[in-house]
Amino acid sequence: MRTLGIITVLLFLVSCRDEAPQFVNNNVRGGALGTSYSITYLSPESRSFEHEIDSVFNVINQSLSTYIPNSDISKINTGDSTVVIDHMFREVFLLSKQVYESTDGYFDPTVGTLVNAWGFGPGKQIRLDSTKVDSLLKYVGFNKVAITEEGTIKKLDPNIYFDFNAIAKGYAIDRLAAMLSAKGIDNYLVEVGGEIVAKGENRIKGKKWVVGVDDPQATEDRKLKVLLNLKDRALASSGNYRKFRIDSLTGKKYVHTIDPKTGYTKNSKVLAATVISKTCATSDAYATAFMAMNLSTSKKLLEKNKELEAYIIYLDGNDNTHEFMTNGFRDLLVN
């Protein structure tokens, strides 16, 4: 009986061991790039990548942050033409050029002078009128900048000011994802400021990663508009429902989306745009562009570019709320 009891206990222990989860849920949270981040990755054992995560954020900031005075982009913005850009700056520059061309200039990181002037950047805010806006527009245009053979940046006007904030966060998420993949992690969810890269699945729960899109019309508590199953894709959203400022003198609301064509902040009928693609930098850039573009123009672009899936919330002429989503986006909805 004692032998039988021991065998029974051993069988029970083996059975429990077989049924135990094969993955450990590792989670790292913190603050970076002016926002918060949450990174979940599954591995057979507990693994810490906090040092590597911090390193990714640090090198991104040193290359692309306009809020760090001695970063590469800050030096270039203040007129240093001797800075040899690193591979991160080059990749962001080239992708920005691609999106700039495909959106007919609605995505333009040289809009930085206007971003500062309207009070949404690290530079000096000024009181703008039509004359001042027109004078600043001559410093806008991604066709006015280039990478030289020596790896430096050439600007047709020294006052051109780069602002990659509409793509740099997405790019940072892509770099974090690449780091985790290089470490042999096949299942992870990287989220920084609401933008996401999902790889593999949530193997502990046995299903795909589930992510949400915010409701831009939620005035008090944060609410989700839709839920999505996301696997091996990246998602980014842009909207004016959180990023705006109220003029202390006039009480007028100014949103952070700036139309590179006109130089003015864009109080358009588009409330929010969410884009899914292969990389978060791409999703980030197009989501920003769709906030500045007319809805009909965005739809035409999405018909041509089959690598993008999008969800756009907008108002009609009577301020009634409507939604547009591509078929591929709709296929990812959680029922």
Model confidence over 150-182: pLDDT tens digits?
A: 999 999 999 999 999 999 999 999 999 999 999
Please report where in the chains the tokens 């064509």 appear, as a residue.
Answer: 261
- Average the pLDDT over 26-49 and give the result: 96
**What is the DSSP-derived secondary structure letter of residue 258?**
B
Q: Which domains are assigned to the chain?
A: 69-162 (1.10.3980.10)
Positions of E strands within the chain: 24-32, 35-43, 145-147, 153-155, 187-192, 195-199, 209-214, 224-230, 233-239, 244-246, 253-255, 270-277, 309-315, 321-325
Task: Judge whether 236 and 249 are in contact, CB under 8 Å.
Answer: no
Q: Which two tokens stand for residue 223?
A: 């609410």
pLDDT at 153: 98
In this prediction the pTM is 0.86
Task: Judge whether 256 and 244 are in contact, CB under 8 Å.
Answer: yes
**What is the DSSP-derived secondary structure letter of residue 84?**
P
* Other C-beta atoms lying within 10 Å of the C-beta of residue 322: 12
Helix (H, G, I), strand (E, B), or coil: what is residue 308? coil
- Residue among 182, 187, 171, 173 at smallest CA distance from 26: 187
pLDDT band, very low/low/confident/very high, at 265 (cuts 50, 70, 90): confident
Please report where in the chains the tokens 């040289």 appear, as a residue.
Answer: 110
Higher pLDDT, 101 or 118: 101
- φ/ψ of residue 211, rounded to 5: -130, 160
The mean pLDDT of the chain is 87
Helix (H, G, I), strand (E, B), or coil: what is residue 156? coil
Model confidence over 131-157: pLDDT tens digits?
A: 787 778 899 999 999 999 999 999 999
Q: Is the pLDDT of residue 248 over 60?
A: no
233 DSSP β-pair partners: 198
